Structure 1
Amino acid sequence: MTPPDGIRDIRDVRRVAEDALEWVDTRRAGFALGEDALAVDGEVDSSWKPLGELAQVCATVSRHTAPADPLHARARSLLDFAWRETEEGELFLRLQRLEPFATYPLEVYAALASAGFRHPAFEQAAAVVARTRGWRLTEQDPTRRLGVLRAEERCGIHRPAPGQPRTWLGGLPEPWTFGRDTGYALTHVVFHLTDWGRDAGGLPPALVTYLADWLPPWLDTCLEAGMWDLSAELLAVAAVVARPAGDPPPLDAWRRIGAAQCPTGEVPLERREPPPGGPGDDPGPPGDERYFLHHYHSTLMAAFAAVLTSERPAAPSAGPGARHRHGGQGAPA
């Protein structure tokens, strides 16, 4: 558990991840696919989306921890659970046949594929659909399109010179235009470009410089507003941006996330303050489905960010310019 006097050093940041994944482990049932997993009108956001997010975070945790690490073992166990929920990939193939132009099966599968789980028949079927003009010309917002492109690459599908979508972050916008929606969009652009923190060199230098300047005030704004979920995502971005230079982690920000984390490990989406004379928007008791939906994503993001933060290498000896010496020539197209 996080020490009662709060986060003091990088070891306490790691404990945020340990406590978060312990809670996730006890709530596996919330991530399980229901009987409507293959229904055309099924609730994707409450079935496949949580499972895919669980797989993506656990894939990252397993990559950034040693095999003998208990955190690694827990992440691999949760990945095994997620793969079994898909009937070892068979449900992806059935989904692809039912909804050939839906992108979410490929995106969830790609998260599992990044951890070594493969279903060749699904990949072959997905590759056939990906060659159609209908698939390649589907209209999507730029951040989503970037995510689909990365999912295709993980599954061995390569478009002929698709180019980078023009995203909000890629345009280096005026920093005062930052908001909740653009905040979530920018974090996912960074996640897609860096393979969810695996390759910090995937960020073009222009973005590294821009984010190094403006992440601190954006993060502080979100923390002040009690937006714990978006704050955790921004802390994950901060860890990626700081990695090449080995910059110290923002412990003050982590202290606020640690204070928001419940004793049992979960982190709420945001601070809930009841209005005067009223109960407020109560997410329900810990065993309630509403409680799970109000906590699972922010808890996963806290674990994700904490692992990226605590597993960063020490600062290199290359000098003050080291932060910008990695791949890429500019902002995304």
Structure 2
Amino acid sequence: MTAPDDTGDIRQVAEDALAWVDTRRAGFSLGEDALAVDGEVDSSWKPLGELAQVCATVAHHTASFDPLHARARALLDFAWRETDGGELLRRLQRLEPFATYPLEVYAALASAGFRHPAFEEAAGVVARTRGWRLTEQDPTRRLGVLRAEERCGIHRPGQAPHMLTRTWLGGRSEPWTFERDAGYALTHVVFHLTDWGRDADGLPPDLVTYLADWLPPWLDTCLEAGMWDLSGELLAVAAIVARRTGDAVPRDAWRTIRAARRPSGEVPLEDRGPAPAGPGDAVPDDGRYFLHHYHSTLMAAFAAVLTSARPAGPPAGTGARHRHGGQGAPA
């Protein structure tokens, strides 16, 4: 059960993180090369899509009168304006019809209620081609694309379970094989299955049990290694699993994340990289600082909202479960 003081402290992580993100809107803006064939997707569309995805979940889990909800909605409005109300996504889809990232960015915004019918119509046409269906992707990515398709009204019955069994998590891999790439893969499988934390029941019971047993040592290992970004994603998964099991919030893990924050509330990707020397020092403004902090800060806000919004006690008929002991897996 979450103690009231813990809930307040975790909630503050989300507030501070989104406040920092709000002051760094320029870093999420699309540049003039947004439609360029050789544009840097990872530094333009990717951050904007991640901003939209996290803020959509924050808005979903907070009341309309909540200041955190208002900030998340304002950031979503900003993201939608950056796409020119979806028109840039439609143009991008026409330029690169078999690229998946326009669909994935659009799906994040559509989950918050933003729609562009012409984009959805065009995406539906491409999705009916063999070239789209047979694009070779790893199973975790394919699962994400399937979920993005559903946001656009494209449904492929029976495909998601097939993809799930081919993922590292869906196959319930040996816990000792956990490492960085497996960690990011498993968190995204959970996010896709649960609609980014909106529907914890989307996680199959066998995976709930598997994660409840092995997530604690994996999280401890990542925290010990100073992998704050992956730790934030794992904390989000822990919050989703806890909705099903009623397990307690990992308080020590959250204390570690709070201690890792910079003075303005942002969280670095890992325990090294650019940082101001002290609270009064200027933050580097060469783009490196933003790229080294924006995603981990978004994940901290995402995990904090999922954790503080979850039920305070275990579901009816459940109780404390025995946990495996042992050492954490190598990261």
Does the alignment reach a TM-score above 0.5? yes
Inter-partner Cα distance in structure 1 for 2:7 and 2:157: 43
Inter-partner Cα distance in structure 2 for 1:65 and 1:214: 29
Contact 2:18 2:298 in 1 (8 A): yes
Aligned partner of 1:144 in structure 2 is 141
Correspondence 1:195-214 to 2 at 5 A: 195-214=195-214
Deviations 1:87-146 (A, max 9, x none): 000011101110000000000000000000000000000000000000000000111000
Inter-partner Cα distance in structure 1 for 2:22 and 2:244: 32
Output the amino acid matched with 2:65. Answer: A
Contact 2:197 2:306 in 1 (8 A): yes
Output the amino acid matched with 1:13. Answer: I
Inter-partner Cα distance in structure 2 for 1:151 and 1:12: 33
Between the aligned residues of both structures, percent identity stands at 83
**Structure 1, gaps ≥5 residues long:** 1-6, 273-280, 324-333
Aligned partner of 1:314 in structure 2 is 312
The question of 1:234 aligning with 2:234 is answered yes
Q: CA deviation at 1:162?
A: 2.4
Q: CA deviation at 1:222?
A: 0.2
Match of 1:65 among 48, 62, 65: 62
Alpha-carbon distance change, 317 to 282 in structure 1, aligned in 2, over 3 angstroms: closer
Q: CA deviation at 1:226?
A: 0.2
Inter-partner Cα distance in structure 2 for 1:254 and 1:160: 39
Aligned partner of 1:267 in structure 2 is 267
Inter-partner Cα distance in structure 2 for 1:292 and 1:224: 24
Inter-partner Cα distance in structure 2 for 1:121 and 1:232: 36
Question: After the TM superposition, which of the residue ranges 61-70 and 161-170 deviates more from structure 2?
Answer: 161-170
Inter-partner Cα distance in structure 2 for 1:64 and 1:291: 29
Contact 1:245 1:315 in 2 (8 A): no
Match of 1:292 among 290, 295, 298: 290
Output the amino acid matched with 2:205. Answer: P
Aligned partner of 1:78 in structure 2 is 75
Contact 2:62 2:68 in 1 (8 A): yes
Q: CA deviation at 1:14?
A: 0.4
Contact 2:89 2:119 in 1 (8 A): yes
Inter-partner Cα distance in structure 2 for 1:210 and 1:250: 17
Inter-partner Cα distance in structure 1 for 2:139 and 2:175: 19
Alpha-carbon distance change, 316 to 259 in structure 1, aligned in 2, over 3 angstroms: closer
Inter-partner Cα distance in structure 2 for 1:210 and 1:294: 32
Query: Over aligned residue pairs, what C-alpha RMSD do you find?
Result: 1.6
Aligned to 2:292, the other structure's residue is in SS state helix
Contact 2:246 2:319 in 1 (8 A): no
Match of 1:30 among 27, 32, 51: 27
Correspondence 1:99-248 to 2 at 5 A: 99-163=96-160, 164-165=162-163, 166-248=166-248
Alpha-carbon distance change, 322 to 135 in structure 1, aligned in 2, over 3 angstroms: farther
Q: CA deviation at 1:160?
A: 4.7
**Structure 2, gaps ≥5 residues long:** 277-282, 322-331
Aligned partner of 2:46 in structure 1 is 49
Contact 1:183 1:230 in 2 (8 A): yes
Alpha-carbon distance change, 8 to 261 in structure 1, aligned in 2, over 3 angstroms: farther
Alpha-carbon distance change, 15 to 282 in structure 1, aligned in 2, over 3 angstroms: closer
Alpha-carbon distance change, 150 to 224 in structure 1, aligned in 2, over 3 angstroms: same
Q: CA deviation at 1:158?
A: 1.0
Alpha-carbon distance change, 133 to 322 in structure 1, aligned in 2, over 3 angstroms: farther
- TM normalised by structure 2 equals 0.91
Inter-partner Cα distance in structure 1 for 2:213 and 2:182: 17
Inter-partner Cα distance in structure 2 for 1:67 and 1:132: 41
Deviations 1:232-278 (A, max 9, x none): 00000000000123322111000000000112010000001xxxxxx
Inter-partner Cα distance in structure 2 for 1:221 and 1:90: 44
